[in-house]
């Protein structure tokens, strides 16, 4: 009886922690051919501990919004389908998943490894897009653990990004 109560209390505590909203910020620079670096501000929000959520990137000329996902053992490949809108499926023309000689994107039903990688596709009001790939410092903490990476603008510009880790 005590074990059941303890287990129930533990599960309720875990559910309450998982239901908490976490937010964070990041910064970076956007560069283009022959252009000067300009600042970029990132904001993200998650209700599952930074594993997935929404992200905003404010570039000097527009604001982009969309979803981000950390690739974990539980990630189902169909959850990532919205990321490929307007891009090649799996971003095979922009390697991220492994070496240039490995498949660009796992095509099995489940992605069965824990990578510490986050992917996002963000769109602006004027139909411009950013595809983003980040590497987490502490994957178990999600975006709260910090990370860095880059985004590619649909016009070819590159955005470098850094997300500082939050204190525990």
pLDDT in tens, the chain (168 residues): 555 554 454 444 445 544 578 999 999 999 987 778 999 999 999 998 888 899 999 999 999 999 999 887 766 666 677 777 777 666 666 665 554 444 445 554 444 355 788 999 999 999 999 999 999 998 888 899 999 999 999 999 999 999 998 877
| pLDDT given at position 2 | 54
pLDDT at 34: 76
On whether residue 37 sits in a domain, the answer given is yes
Give dist(CA 127, CA 8) in Å, integer: 47
Question: Are the C-beta atoms of 135 and 146 separated by less than 8 Å?
Answer: no
The domain that holds 147 is classified in CATH as 2.40.128.120
Say what the pLDDT of residue 102 is: 42
pLDDT at 11: 44
CB atoms within 10 A of CB 73: 10
Residue 135 resides in a domain: yes
pLDDT at position 10 is: 42
Q: What does the pLDDT read at residue 89?
A: 65
Burial class (CB in 10 A: 0-12, 13-18, 19+), 56: middle
Residue 160's pLDDT is 96
Q: Write down the pLDDT at residue 153.
A: 94
Is 16 among the domain residues?
no
- Report residue 84 CA to chain centroid gap: 14
| Per-residue confidence (pLDDT) for residue 28, from 0 to 100 | 96
* Overall domain count for the chain: 1
45 vs 49: CA distance, rounded Å: 9
- Whether 82 is covered by a domain: the verdict is yes
Does 1 map to a domain? no
For 135-156, b where at least 16 C-beta lie within 10 A, e where not — what string? ebebbebbbbbbbebbbbbeee
Bridging pattern class, strands 22-31 and 158-163: antiparallel
Q: What DSSP line would sit under 3-68, residue for residue?
A: HHHHHHHHHHHHHHHHHS-EEEEEEEEEE-TTPPPEEEEEEEEESSSSSEEEEEEE-SS-EEEEEE
Q: Which domain holds residue 42?
A: 23-163
Residue 138 lies in a domain: yes
| Distance separating alpha carbons of residues 144 and 60, to the nearest angstrom | 25
* Full-model pTM: 0.68
Would residue 13 count as lying in a domain?
Answer: no
How many contiguous H segments (helices) and E segments (strands) does the chain have?
1, 8
**Is 114 among the domain residues?**
yes
């Amino acid at each position: 009886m005590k074990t059941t109560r303890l287990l129930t209390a533990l599960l309720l505590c875990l559910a309450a922690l998982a239901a908490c909203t976490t937010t964070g910020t990041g910064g970076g620079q956007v560069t283009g051919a022959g252009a000067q670096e300009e600042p970029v501000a990132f904001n993200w929000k998650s209700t599952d501990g930074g594993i997935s959520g929404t992200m905003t990137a404010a570039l000097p000329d527009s604001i982009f919004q969309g979803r981000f996902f950390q690739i974990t053992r539980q990630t189902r490949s169909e959850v990532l389908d919205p990321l490929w809108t307007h891009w090649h499926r799996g971003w095979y023309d922009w390697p991220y998943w492994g070496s240039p000689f490995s498949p660009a994107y796992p095509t099995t039903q489940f992605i069965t490894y824990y990578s510490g990688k986050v992917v996002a596709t963000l769109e602006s009001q004027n139909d411009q897009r950013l595809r983003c790939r980040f590497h987490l410092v502490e994957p178990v903490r999600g975006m709260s653990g910090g990370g860095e990476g880059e985004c590619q603008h649909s016009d070819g510009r590159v955005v470098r990004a850094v997300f500082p880790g939050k204190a525990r």
